[in-house]
Amino acid sequence: MKDERITITGGKGFLGAHLTQKMKEKGYKYLYIADLPEYDLVRLEDIKRMYDDSKPDIVIHLAAKVGGIGFNRENPATLFYENLLMGVQLLHEGYLRRIEKFVAIGTICAYPKFTPVPFKEEDLWNGYPEETNAPYGLAKKMMLVQSQAYRQQYGFNSIYLLPVNLYGPGDNFDPRSSHVIPALIKKCVDAKLNDEKEILVWGTGNATREFFYVEDAAEAIILGMERYNKSDPVNIGAGFEISIKELVELIVELTGFKGRIIWDKAKPDGQPRRTLDTTKAFKEFGFRAETDFREGLKKTIQWYLEMVKCQSP
């Protein structure tokens, strides 16, 4: 596959940048980045132009409209519409142009709200997603339906990978749309720099999450692209669970913040528990996460500290 033409949508984004770098290191020569502002992948004419420009053999679809709980609550219609249109049109156009393979990146938000832990792929349809995530999760989940339908009717080769929550250097630290790890790192580091005595954290701290280091996620996607050729969904993650309370304590320790934690229990926790069964990824294409969570957090915090230093006058 090293000589294949590979287009990565959302390649300028957090995961996309790490994936592109890792693929270059592995010797992939013909990588094409399809992202804003050159291509608005909600628009069919931009999708067609992207295919004309890049002439891909393989498409890896990472591009997504995405955010944390607050962003999801404020933008459910936008999240549903834009993610649905991107996925449906990109995959269909890939089929029309007879590309060799389409790699669809789904989301853990597609799982039902009360999925038995750890989440197994066969539980994906056993209920409705957690309400704040549902429009986004269901829009991305439609790529799985489409992938399976197009394989059944047309023999089109597409796969569907389900990553758990990502984190790492280069993450989105914008408080309006960031996920929990960058949001907490920013709060602790900024409070420490500004000599503030407390930080406010949403929810009760009881919800649990699994976090997946971005470089491990990039490795999983490459292995799936290289070795997996079925439309059955596959979880990719680190295979561990931590409560938000424990996460806050760990980030407080690693950032050196000495103040008080105030829990805003009026704000939602989101899905009660979230961790993946990742045995299928190992069985099907030999992927197992390698990055220790504490070490991954240290690298992420260090990256943010360097960014803050660069931006200060």
Residues annotated as catalytic (active site), given as ranges: 136
What is the bridge-based pairing of β-strands 208-209 and 242-243?
Answer: antiparallel
Helix, strand, or coil (residue 200): strand
Torsion 173-180-183-168 (CA) sign? negative
d(CA 279, CA 42) in angstroms, rounded, equals 34
> Based on C-alpha coordinates, what's the Rg of the chain?
19
Q: H or E element: which one contains 211?
A: strand 211-213
Q: Which residues contact 30 (CB under 8 A, 6 or more apart)?
A: 3, 4, 5, 6
Q: Which residues contact 73 (CB under 8 A, 6 or more apart)?
A: 132, 268
From residue 75, give the alpha-carbon distance in Å to each of 23, 79, 107, 264. 33, 6, 17, 21
Reduced DSSP (H G I as helix, E B as strand, rest coil) percent helix, strand, coil of the chain, to 5: 45, 15, 40
